[in-house]
Amino acid sequence: MKITNTQELYNNHNLFKETKEKETKKIIVCAGTGCVAGGALDIYDEFERLLGEKNLDGKVDLVKEVEDISLKKSGCPGLCEAGPLVRIEPGDILYTMVKVEDCKDIIDETFGHDKPLERLLFNVDGEVYVSKHSIPFYINQSRIVLEDCGEIDPESIEEYIANGGYLALARVLDKMSPKDVCNEIVESKLRGRGGGGFSAGTKWSQVLSYESDMKYIICNGDEGDPGAFMDMCIMEGIPHSILEGMIIAAYATKAKEGYIYVRAEYPLAVKRLTKAIQQARQYGLLGKNILGTDLSFDIHINQGAGAFVCGEGSALIASIEGERGMPRVKAKRTVEEGLWKKPTVLNNVETFANVRYIIMNGAEWYRSHGTENSPGTKAFSVTGNVNNTGVVEVPMGTTLREMIFDTCGGIMDGKNFKAVQIGGPSGGCLTEEHLDMPLDFDSLTEVGAMIGSGGMVVMDQDTCIVEVARFFMNFTQNESCGKCVPCREGTKRMLEIMEKIVAGKANMRDLDLLEELAYTVTETSLCGLGKTAANPVLSTMKYFKNEYIEHIVDKKCHSKVCEALKTIIIIPELCKGCSKCARICPADAILGKVRETYTIDQDKCIKCGACIESCAFHAIEEV
Amino acid sequence: MLTSEMIETVDTIINEHDNNQSSIISILQGIQREYRYLPEEALNYVSDRMDISSSKIYGIATFYENFSLEPKGKHIIKICDGTACHIRKSQPILDALRKELSLSEDRITTDDLLITVEMVSCLGACSLAPVVNVDGVVYAKMTPSKTQALVRKIKEGQLSEDN
């Protein structure tokens, strides 16, 4: 059914909204990547079976009760740690860690006896939370972009429209000129959520200012930072909000074609976006003469093929053009010569998802959130050694402490906080001293980190920071495209030194060389990947230099992570001299006589740990 | 060897993309979906048919990590080594799996072409770290022994191919 004018869209909105309001009893199963991995689809099937069964089996009372329960799938509500998640309306009840066996009880208790099933409710230290929005994880967030994520069915355009979707587009078409739209976005001070933090409105205005027969809108969904998945969450949970943002951008800049570049590792996002595009076309929201106006715009999906560097703008464009995804030296900026040398708006997923809220509520409203120079909210994915991992959306300027300890429930197993790596392999690490620093684009750059796309990996006391730096170096080295020498060779040499350090084979001169290389790579690389590749090394060296020195001089890794630096010893007081360990040692490194204390020849020991397992008296340990 | 079936398959894929040179990456993805790798003869055929030099196709096929010029196993196990999985100990899972299947960093596919083991960076299920993806299905909070059990299931044919 094609909608041919904006009035019809408003009518549809009212109609869908009424229908939606009539559905009072709902079972909403999270069908994000995380919960699906936990078995959410089996849970959905079980509910479907149970509801079908109940309708048939003649229990009159209950049939009446369950007849009008609607069963839905949703995108990710963010609390992935506690998944699979099932939400119940009315009552905003959130059930966590649901299993297939629980489905029957959920229906019987919640709907049959009208009381929540306590054993599945979220609880911390004995305190039980019935409603989703009472859980500290949600109380401390301000979900604007992610408001509908986890609430609506991502595969239903009707639900999106019922919740006010595409009304921003209607407003733009009815009341605003392209220039007005650009100005509104400029005034909102919306900054690109992909990492750079460049003003989105400025990009749009510049693209509008160039005359060209063809202009493009590209959405960067190549979220390659390991540990970041909020863009995935948006693509899977509220795909239409990205399309709406892109269509508005097309109107504002007079672009005719759009591309969404999605990582190959996100098959579900591709599926949901593809479906959303089909639905939007059917409704006349994409294609020729959108909503009966002169605006014609269509969107294609490009799947990545596994290259981190394609998150870089010019490499991404090369990839869409069917080339090796290598960054290009840009004489002119993307806004002037982007895809196929035409003016191009290139924004990140989250940036586009912000647009509809700015249009509906105005730039001033938007600026009332967040900080002066970084307004709005930001979605972060918080992972690592933290209790409530998942996706959170907080106003810019929120502190790390609030995010990690209040929202995400603190460090796992009561351990101590050590550091947080923010911005993935391009970012840096922040320590205890930064916990109360407000997070925004500028404050992070000042301390040598960056917001990046918003990936945040929390590390506890048992994490070896040097090994983590090696891990990131290994990642960027692998992903270096090889075009420019500083990045190709520099990251390789840096990685070699990092490997020497964790193997206990480096000396202090290596550390100086590492630092020098780090600055050279930063200053001379062609693209963002190389320019930021040294950040993890530099920032960990800045805050944890003692750990580097410990690895180099003392040949020790106190977190006991670095294999080569472990020492295995026999505790003399506990050793009974049974000789079992000496017989089991594959390297003949254990010396001694029966009934006397055995010792380990450290030069011969290969640290396999076979002796530790073999000792019945727990007399052997790693130090 | 280039068979008529292969020509037909590759032609269908090329036609789906209107023989468009800039769609070469999607075309290669289509071929790989079909054969689980990029057979040399198929690439040469694409080169002829689409008038793209084989060196350029080779350049693209070797640039992107998802493309493989070697045949892959019937089942593909991807071990996530994104930051979150790394910190929650994904390496021991890889080590255990390689040991179980006598594989190494250079030898990633078993001789009987049953299983390929790959390390990948971030599958986006960081909350459930460490995760393992077998034939597109994500398994959460894995351990070396849970993964080994999974492999035994594959070997015994209990894990259906299409899930």
- pLDDT per residue over B25-63, tens digit each? 999 999 999 999 999 999 999 999 999 999 999 999 999
Q: Report how far residue B34's alpha carbon sits from residue A266's, in angstroms, rounded to the nearest whole number.
A: 19
Backbone angles phi, psi at A66, to 5 degrees: -90, -15
Structure tokens at A153: 């069915």
Catalogue the long-range contacts made by B20-26 (C-beta closer than 8 Å, 24 or more residues apart). B21/A322, B21/B50, B21/B51, B21/B52, B22/A320, B22/A321, B22/A322, B23/A322, B24/A322, B24/B50, B24/B52, B24/B57, B24/B60, B25/A302, B25/A305, B25/A319, B25/A322, B25/B60, B25/B64, B26/A302, B26/A303
Q: Report how far residue A47's alpha carbon sits from residue A49's, in angstroms, rounded to the nearest whole number.
A: 5
* CB atoms B87 and A463 under 8 Å: yes
Backbone angles phi, psi at B119, to 5 degrees: -100, 130
Assess contact for A227 and B84: CB atoms under 8 A. Answer: yes
Residue whose entry in the numeric block shows the structure tokens 């709907």:
A111
Assess contact for A501 and A540: CB atoms under 8 A. Answer: no
- Which burial class, exposed, middle or buried, applies to A617 when counting CB atoms under 10 A from its CB (0-12, 13-18, 19+)? middle
Please report, for residues A83, A228, A479, A490, B36, the alpha-carbon distance to residue A471 in angstroms, rounded to integers and kept in the order given.
28, 16, 12, 16, 29
Q: Note the pLDDT of residue B12.
A: 95
Distance from CA of B140 to the nearest CA of A (A): 6
Closest alpha carbon within chain B to A76: B125
Backbone angles phi, psi at A267, to 5 degrees: -60, -35
Of A346, A369, A345, A347, nearest to A358 by C-alpha is: A369
Query: Chain A residues with CB inside 8 Å of B140's CB?
Result: 34, 37-38
Q: Is A354 on the interface with B (CB under 8 A)?
A: no
Assess contact for B112 and B150: CB atoms under 8 A. Answer: no
DSSP labels, B119-144: EES--S-GGG-S-EEETTEEE-S--H
Q: Report how far residue A206's alpha carbon sits from residue A337's, in angstroms, rounded to the nearest whole number.
A: 11
- Which burial class, exposed, middle or buried, applies to B54 when counting CB atoms under 10 A from its CB (0-12, 13-18, 19+)? middle
Could you say which DSSP state residue A187 is in?
H
Q: Report how far residue A98's alpha carbon sits from residue A86's, in angstroms, rounded to the nearest whole number.
A: 7
* CB atoms B60 and A323 under 8 Å: yes
**Mean pLDDT estimate for chain B:** 89
Angle at A82 between CA B94 and CA B120, to 5 degrees: 25
- Find the length of chain A: 623
* Interface confidence (ipTM) of the complex: 0.86
CA atoms B153, B156, B158, B163: torsion sign: positive
**Single-letter amino acid, residue A322:** G
Q: Note the pLDDT of residue A318.
A: 94
Interface of A with B in 474-513 (CB under 8 A): 475, 478-479, 481
Q: Which residues have CB under 8 Å from A108's CB, separation 6+? A: none
- Residues belonging to chain B with any Cβ–Cβ distance to chain A shorter than 8 Å: 21-26, 28-29, 59-60, 63-67, 81-84, 86-88, 120-129, 131, 136-140
Q: Report how far residue A231's alpha carbon sits from residue A380's, in angstroms, rounded to the nearest whole number.
A: 9
Beta strands per DSSP E along A202-343: 216-221, 257-262, 298-303
Q: Is A68 on the interface with B (CB under 8 A)?
A: no
- Domains with residue ranges and CATH for chain A: 6-139 (3.40.30.10), 178-367 (3.40.50.11540), 377-463 (3.10.20.600), 466-554 (1.20.1440.230), 567-622 (3.30.70.20)
Q: Report how far residue A293's alpha carbon sits from residue B95's, in angstroms, rounded to the nearest whole number.
A: 59
Q: SS3 string of A409-471?
A: CCEHHHCCEEEEEECHHHCEEEEHHHCCCECCHHHHHHCCCCCCCCEEEEEECCCCHHHHHHH
Of B163, B72, B74, nearest to B114 by C-alpha is: B74
Q: Note the pLDDT of residue A55.
A: 60
Which candidate from A37, A323, A455 shows the least CB-CB separation from B128?
Answer: A37
* CB atoms B124 and A229 under 8 Å: yes
Structure tokens at A384: 């690592």
Backbone angles phi, psi at A77, to 5 degrees: -80, -5
Q: Quick check: B64 pLDDT over 70?
A: yes
Superfamily of domain B75-155: Glutaredoxin (3.40.30.10)
Core vs surface per residue A281-294: b (16+ CB within 10 A) or e: eebbbbbeebbbee
Q: Is A394 on the interface with B (CB under 8 A)?
A: no
Distance from CA of A201 to the nearest CA of B (A): 29
Q: Is A459 on the interface with B (CB under 8 A)?
A: yes
Of A183, A201, A248, A229, nearest to B122 by C-alpha is: A229
Q: Which residues have CB under 8 Å from A202's CB, separation 6+? A: A186
Query: Chain A residues with CB inside 8 Å of B120's CB?
Result: 265
Beta strands per DSSP E along A170-215: none
Q: Which residues have CB under 8 Å from A360's CB, separation 6+? A: A164, A167, A168, A171
* CB atoms B122 and A468 under 8 Å: no
* CB atoms A385 and B83 under 8 Å: no
Backbone angles phi, psi at A333, to 5 degrees: -75, 160
Core vs surface per residue A146-167: b (16+ CB within 10 A) or e: bbbbbbbbbbbbbbbbbbebbb
Angle at A269 between CA A268 and CA A270, to 5 degrees: 90
Interface of A with B in 545-574 (CB under 8 A): none
pLDDT per 10-residue tile (average), chain A, 623 residues: 93 93 89 87 91 58 55 89 89 92 91 87 88 89 92 93 96 96 97 88 96 96 86 95 97 97 89 96 96 96 88 92 90 91 96 97 96 93 89 93 92 92 87 91 84 86 92 92 94 96 94 96 92 92 94 90 86 92 87 91 82 89 83
Query: Chain B residues with CB inside 8 Å of A478's CB?
Result: 121
- Find the length of chain B: 163
The model's pTM:
0.89
Distance from CA of A387 to the nearest CA of B (A): 10
Q: Report how far residue B124's alpha carbon sits from residue A391's, in angstroms, rounded to the nearest whole number.
A: 11
* CB atoms B60 and A324 under 8 Å: yes
Q: How many CB atoms lie within 10 A of CB B124?
A: 29
